[in-house]
Structure 1
Amino acid sequence: MSLRIRLARGGAKKRPFYRIVVADSRSPRDGRFIEKLGIYDPMLSRDNENRVVLKEERVKYWLGVGAQPSDRVARFLGFKGLAEARAIPEQTRKNQPKAKAQERLRVAAEKAKAAAEAAEGAEG
């Protein structure tokens, strides 16, 4: 049984609220879980201490027995100093412009480079 420390969504429409839970990786996102380890309220400001609340002793226990945190939970644990924080990937396929937009950017960069070279030639 592979254990995951992950988020289970609750709250109303457009008002999310998450429980941080330990669950079997095969169980549904909002389904059965083993233990509740904390809460995450994204509606609160980032500097509010109640935005992420964790039961630190239990988190350490579950990490010790091999539970793997999800990416988001790993970042929370990194902020609290319970685990090493994972970096946010800079270059992924989803956050890149589509092919046509990349082509437009490339053409614009070439035009800017040509204009800069022309300005250099006019000065010198």
Structure 2
Amino acid sequence: MAMKIRLARGGSKKRPHYAIVASDSRMPRDGRFIEKLGTYNPLLPKDSEDRVKMNMERVQYWLEQGAQPTDRVARFLEAAGARPKAARANLKKGVPGDKAKQRAEEKAAKTADAAE
């Protein structure tokens, strides 16, 4: 069974509240989970102690059992010092899209024609 440590959303519309859970990766996001490991409240300030709460003993247990944390949970674990920082690179984030490239080429062509 492939295990994940991930977020399960709760709360009302536009007022999210997440539970950090250990679940089977085949289950839906808010569906059945095996154990609740903590909470995450994104509405609290970033420096608040209550923003992310985790039972680190149980998280370590599930990591030893082979559970893979999702990207967001991995960042929480890195901040808590339970996991080494991973290098992340979003190589496509700074690259303009196709339409922006076309507009830039057209603008360059216009300025080249005007310079002649």
TM-score (norm 2): 0.84
Question: Could you say which structure has the greater relative contact order, defined with CA pairs below 8 angstroms and 6 or more residues apart?
Answer: 2
Structure 1 runs not aligned, ≥5 long: 115-124
Residues 66, 40 of structure 1: alpha-carbon distance in 2 compared, 3 angstrom cutoff: same
Counterpart AA for 1:51: R
Give the match for residue 9 of structure 2: 9
Structure 2 runs not aligned, ≥5 long: none
Give the match for residue 60 of structure 1: 60
* C-alpha distance in 2 between matches for 1:41 and 1:60: 21
Q: Is 1:98 aligned to residue 97 of structure 2?
A: yes
Counterpart AA for 1:104: R
Give the match for residue 69 of structure 1: 69
The 8 Å contact of residues 74 and 84 in structure 1, kept in 2 or not, is answered as no
Secondary structure in 2 matching 1:21: strand
* C-alpha distance in 2 between matches for 1:73 and 1:4: 10
Secondary structure in 2 matching 1:22: strand
* C-alpha distance in 1 between matches for 2:53 and 2:10: 15
TM-score (norm 1): 0.79
Secondary structure in 1 matching 2:57: helix
